[in-house]
Structure 1
Amino acid sequence: MEGLTDKVVVFAGAGGIATATASLLGAGGARIVVSDVVLDSAERTAQAARDAGGEAIAVVADISDQDQVNAQIDRAVKEYGRIDGLFNVAANIHPDQVAEDTDAIGIDLAAWQRTIDVNLTGYLLTLKAALPHMIAGGGGSVVNTISNAVYAGMPDKVAYSVTKSGITALTRHVARRYGKDRIRANSLSPGLVLTEQTKLNLPEDYRDLILQSTPSWRHGDPADLGATAAFLFSDLSAWTTGQVFNVDGGTTMRA
């Protein structure tokens, strides 16, 4: 893809969508610093960028810890001199914690708070750390990952749904507030994407049930999301900001 050469993009979060995006950015000549709470996961995503011809560094960081987030941003600036992009793709997806995210009456407040800390406050912490460097360097692109749970009115996963809605508002705040500083910010909203984590945690019969309710003939692949994210980090999207990109096989159709 055009317009990625030598761009420095920080990934907060690894795994399927991040790995597919890293591969495309690497092929375009970008340089990546990717973090995860598990180093092996971050390293696999970084290796995908290297295998495609790019440069990449893997680090350990918990997105909900400001000191760890700052350390990742500092590492990116030290290694590559600047930051051109920020990809927030981390989420609180540990199966035990997901199971605790129920409804407004039943949810335990500790489970609520942990999801808020990772899914919403964590995105703010990365922005606080990265935006000053991006502005000083002449601008850049932020891509925040949300979910079509924003629209669905889910009967469960109240904390997850609320945080993803909050990220949409946060994205548009950044687009509006820092647009004159040449900062672009957009949200990426996946449908059901068959990552390795999804295949492990979501029964096949449930996946089939979801597919029946979508216009598409198949579920999403991480590469579907990676292609859109790579576009948003490239110069090809230079006049695109404040938008939600629903990459979900037509599940969400909005004007």
Structure 2
Amino acid sequence: MNRLSGKVIVVAGGGGIGSELARRYAAEGASIVLGDIDAAAAQTVVDEIVAAGGIATATELDGGDEASIYAIVDLACATYGGLDGFHANYASFADGAIAASVLDMPMDVYDEVMRVNARGHLLCTRAALPKMIERGGGVMLYTSSGSAYVPMPIRPAYAMSKSAIHALMRTVAIKHGPDGIRANVIAPGIIMHEKLEANASPGLKEWAFGRNAVKARLGRPADIAATGAMLMSDEGAYITGQVLSIDGGSSMRQ
């Protein structure tokens, strides 16, 4: 549990998965900056990390705003002396909220999803890479979704934005590998964090179990955090340019 000792990691986006990422990275010895649009929620998680003996700072982050993204990177460098890892873990679900299809999705909703999910992740990359290259290398991680692979009658903007993140990751991996940068994507399936558990219908759980090869349980934020910790650490030193689907076997791709 000390694989990330001495590393500085930004977790961009809290919530069910992001908060667990921050906890796990801190438990593994990293100094964490956790940013979220809900700064108070991020501070609650950071208080928990510090109470457990970890090192962490909270800040407000608007994942669609260039100045906000650069500010969280500058905060990490100013507070902890540099940057070794950046995990972009936020998303807009605007088209899902209206169950829009290709033909009836308002273009302003499409633009908002792409602004946050595709453009925002590009901005994270542009802000983080120079600082990590200065340190001699580092890790870019992106949280995507199984929606990038699964045919969906609704939420086309969300699915398109997640596919765009995969393309971004591959570009970073091949272009900046010589600079010591590794880049990967974690694509979760259905992850039963606290908020989703409280609002999930029995039908959703049955649907998820029906798709999964693992039948013992549905995924949890800790499953994503465990994979993230490995990829951020030297144990993942030979893994780059990959999409790791953490989904209980609901997708089985070669």
TM-score, normalised to structure 1, is 0.95
Amino acid at match of 1:212: G
Corresponding residue number in structure 2 for 1:241: 240
Residue matched to 2:228: 229
Q: Which residue identity does 1:85 align to in structure 2?
A: G
Between 1:27-36 and 1:48-57, the stretch displaced more is: 48-57
SS at match of 2:149: helix
Report the CA distance between 1:113 and its aligned residue. Answer: 0.8
Are the counterparts in 2 of residues 101 and 159 from structure 1 also a CA contact under 8 Å?
no
Specify which of 151, 172, 175 is matched with residue 149 of structure 2: 151
Q: Which residue of 1 aligns with 2:54?
A: 54
Q: Deviating runs (4+, > 6 A) in structure 1?
A: none
SS for the counterpart of 1:35 is strand
Do 2:141 and 2:186's aligned partners in 1 also have CA atoms closer than 8 Å?
yes
CA distance in 1 between counterparts of 2:120 and 2:48 reads 24
Deviation at 1:71, TM superposition (A): 1.1
CA distance in 2, matches of 1:37, 1:10: 14
Contact preservation (8 Å) 1:141, 1:185: yes
Matches within 5 A, 1:187-202: 187-202=185-200
* Percent identity of equivalent pairs: 37
Q: Deviations over 1:120-174 (max 9, x none)?
A: 1110111111110000111001110111111111111101100000000000100
Residue pair 1:100, 1:108 contacting (<8 A) in 2 also: no
Match of residue 104, structure 2, among 103, 106, 123: 106
Contact 1:32 1:49 in 2 (8 A): no
User: Residues of 2 paired with 1:158 and 1:26: CA distance?
Assistant: 35
Helix, strand or coil for the counterpart of 1:160?
helix
* Worse overlay, 7-16 or 85-94: 85-94
Name the SS for the 2:87 alignment partner.
strand
The CA distance in 2 between the partners of 1:162 and 1:201, in whole Å, is 26
Q: What amino acid maps onto 1:71 in structure 2? A: A
Q: Kindly tell me: are residues 193 and 153 of structure 1, through their superposed partners in 2, closer, same or farther at Cα, counting changes over 3 Å?
A: same
- Distance in 1, Cα, partners of 2:161 & 2:6: 33
What TM-score do the two structures reach when normalised by structure 2? Answer: 0.95
Q: 2: distance between equivalents of 1:112 and 1:90?
A: 16
Cα distance per residue 1:92-112 (max 9 Å; x no partner)? 146xx5323521111011111
Which of 170, 173, 187 is equivalent to 1:172? 170
For residues 213-244 of structure 1, give each alpha carbon's deviation from its aligned partner in whole angstroms, at most 9, with x where no partner exists. 22121210110111000111111111110011
Q: Residue 153 of structure 1: SS of its match in structure 2?
A: coil
Specify whether residues 101 and 75 from structure 1 end up closer, same or farther in structure 2 by C-alpha distance, changes over 3 A only. Answer: farther
Distance 2:250 2:185 in 1: 16
Which residue identity lines up with residue 196 of structure 2 in the other structure? Answer: T
- Partners in 1 of 2:160 and 2:203 — Cα distance? 27
Q: Which amino acid aligns with 1:228?
A: T
Alpha-carbon deviations, 1:179-234, whole Å to 9, x = none? 00000000001010001232244323222222122212121011011100011111
CA positional deviation for 1:6: 1.5
> SS where residue 152 of structure 1 aligns?
coil
Separation of aligned partners in 2, 1:2 and 1:146: 26
1:17 aligned partner: 17
The number of residues matched between the two structures is 253
Instruction: Structure 2 unaligned segments of length 5 or more: list them.
Output: none
Of 202-211 and 144-153, deviating more is 202-211
- For residues 114 and 156 of structure 1, what CA distance do their matches in structure 2 show? 16
Residue segments in structure 1 that go unaligned for 5+ positions in a row: none
Write the mapping of 1:76-87 to structure 2, written as runs, cut at 5 A: 76-87=76-87
